[in-house]
A = this chain, B = another copy of it.
Amino acid sequence: MLQLFSEHILSKLSFLKNARLVVAISGGIDSVVLAHLCKKLGFDFALAHCNFSLRGDESDADEEFVIKLGEDINVEVFSQRFNTEAYAKENKRSIQMAARELRYDWFKDLAAQLGFDYVLTAHHADDNLETFLINFTRGTGLNGLTGIPMINDNIVRPLLPFSREVIEAFARENNIEWRDDSSNSSRKYLRNKLRHEVVPILKEINPQLLDSFESTLDNLNDTADIVEESLNAVAKRAIVEINENGITYKVSEFKKVNNSRAYLFEMFKEFGFTEWNDVVKLLDAETGKYVQSHTHKLTKHRDMLILTNASHSVPNPRDVSESYLINDLNSTEFSIGTLSFEMVSESSNNTGSSIYINKDKLVFPLELRLWKAGDVFCPIGMTGKKKVSKYLKDEKLTPYQKVNTWVLLSEEKIVWVIGHRADERFKVTDSTSNFLKIEILTTKH
């Protein structure tokens, strides 16, 4: 049984072997099995437990269980209490959403502060199938049907290909103890209904259901990549101008495609529009006609569509092909803000708005420009190269954020995907002697 897991993990996720890991653990069977598995595989890991304080004594008992487990298997435990209800109220989230945000934010902090490379979670194939069915039952689109990713940035899910059945068998075989979660939230109710009433019938129809499901997800993820590519391509061709107030699009590019509505929807859905028939009609409307959402306005102007914040007037055009050459460490102003440089005596953590690099790796002049198709970089903390397009997709940026993402380059190598991720090749190491802090101050709008 151990072999089944270890073969998968050591072949598909071999990078976990030499990394520092933190295992997200609730005390339930899945995460407890994952912890034991990491122990058996000799991984370098700690446990991280969130106490969401939602089930009183039971929550506390879960926490104690995890601390005890850490002692038993001789692994460090980090535990954090959250006032989930207060957070949910304050931020207008559902309890489930609030817990999710709190959990992932804390994991990210923990990983950054304590130098962990990856956070492991215990999602498995049945979780994935249930999520698919929940989304489908509620009504969704392709994005709701592509499943949970096995690797998403520094979150890794080693149990994703395995069924609940196999995990339970492993727990029995190894006399593993765990805590059952007695909560009966509506989300659990839904999952239980699907788990006990729907999935067994589907498995009766197709005993290889989980394998078929895995290949369906592979296919749909490939399709999602193609869609992403197409949206980026059409956006690149359609967008002629971006400035601080908005974006200008060529109408002709939306007319060339075989389904204008599909592209308009994907491109503008994030701006709160709901009247898609009206948006489609704009393509043939007179100059001055517009469609408005709560936050944005899409205006027909000659053969262009101009997207503005609802409160702004039509912006002045700016060329998207603009590019700046940076010859020295003076600040550079550009359309989204100011890029500044500062020699500092020591390095600190990178944030969304500032990074620390080894100044000696830079070759001037640097180039500052919008990212473009084909751009590749080495995301710091990860092995290997990644296409910027793929990175921005995985980060789930909105189309607006995507087209408005800038990169800083030295000798055509990306130093920083600005506001998002530094590059491994310029990072500070033990032998670095000249520390350069680069910061972006974005223009508020």
Residues of A whose CB lies within 8 Å of any CB of B are 133, 136-142, 145, 190, 193-194, 197-198, 201-202, 204-206, 209, 211-213, 215-216, 219-220, 222-223, 225-231, 233, 256-259, 261-263, 265-266, 373-374, 387, 389-390, 393
Check if B373 sits within 8 Å of A142, measured CB to CB.
no
Q: Contacts A138-B206, A230-B230 given; indicate if A262 touches B193 (C-beta within 8 A).
A: no
Distance in angstroms between the alpha carbons of A209 and B198 in the assembled complex: 15
Check if A261 sits within 8 Å of B139, measured CB to CB.
no
* Chain B residue nearest in CB terms to A202: B137
Check if B140 sits within 8 Å of A226, measured CB to CB.
no
Check if B209 sits within 8 Å of A137, measured CB to CB.
yes
**7 other A-B residue contacts (CB within 8 Å) besides A138-B212, A193-B201:** A137-B206, A137-B212, A138-B206, A141-B216, A142-B220, A194-B201, A222-B265
Listed by A's residue number, 9 A-B pairs whose Cβ atoms lie within 8 Å are: A139-B212, A139-B215, A141-B223, A142-B223, A194-B201, A198-B201, A222-B259, A229-B257, A256-B374
How many copies make up the complex? 2
* Chain B residue nearest in CB terms to A255: B374
Check if B225 sits within 8 Å of A259, measured CB to CB.
yes
Distance in angstroms between the alpha carbons of A241 and B374 in the assembled complex: 25
Check if B222 sits within 8 Å of A137, measured CB to CB.
no
Q: Contacts A198-B198, A226-B266, A227-B226 given; indicate if A219 touches B137 (C-beta within 8 A).
A: no
Q: Contacts A142-B142, A205-B193 given; indicate if A229 touches B259 (C-beta within 8 A).
A: yes
Check if B219 sits within 8 Å of A140, measured CB to CB.
yes
Residues of B within 8 A of A265 (CB): 222
Residues of B within 8 A of A226 (CB): 226-227, 230-231, 259, 262-263, 266
CB distance from A332 to the nearest CB of B (A): 29
Check if B258 sits within 8 Å of A228, measured CB to CB.
yes
CB distance from A79 to the nearest CB of B (A): 35
Dominant SS at the A interface? helix
CB distance from A311 to the nearest CB of B (A): 31
* Chain B residue nearest in CB terms to A189: B205
Check if A198 sits within 8 Å of B190, measured CB to CB.
no
- Residue in B213, B222, B258, B393 whose beta carbon sits within 8 Å of that of A225 in the complex: B258
Distance in angstroms between the alpha carbons of A241 and B354 in the assembled complex: 49
CB distance from A44 to the nearest CB of B (A): 31
Q: Contacts A139-B215, A206-B138, A263-B226 given; indicate if A258 touches B393 (C-beta within 8 A).
A: yes
Residues of B within 8 A of A213 (CB): 139
CB distance from A316 to the nearest CB of B (A): 32
Check if A262 sits within 8 Å of B216, measured CB to CB.
no
Residues of B within 8 A of A225 (CB): 258-259, 262
Check if B258 sits within 8 Å of A229, measured CB to CB.
yes
Residues of B within 8 A of A373 (CB): 256
Residues of B within 8 A of A209 (CB): 137
Distance in angstroms between the alpha carbons of A233 and B237 in the assembled complex: 13
* Chain B residue nearest in CB terms to A257: B229
- Residue in B197, B204, B206, B374 whose beta carbon sits within 8 Å of that of A201 in the complex: B197
CB distance from A217 to the nearest CB of B (A): 10
CB distance from A129 to the nearest CB of B (A): 10
Residues of B within 8 A of A215 (CB): 139
Residues of B within 8 A of A222 (CB): 259, 261-262, 265-266
* Chain B residue nearest in CB terms to A261: B222
Residues of B within 8 A of A136 (CB): 216
Distance in angstroms between the alpha carbons of A226 and B140 in the assembled complex: 17
Residue from the set A205, A226, A257, A261 with the largest chain B CB neighbour count within 10 Å: A226
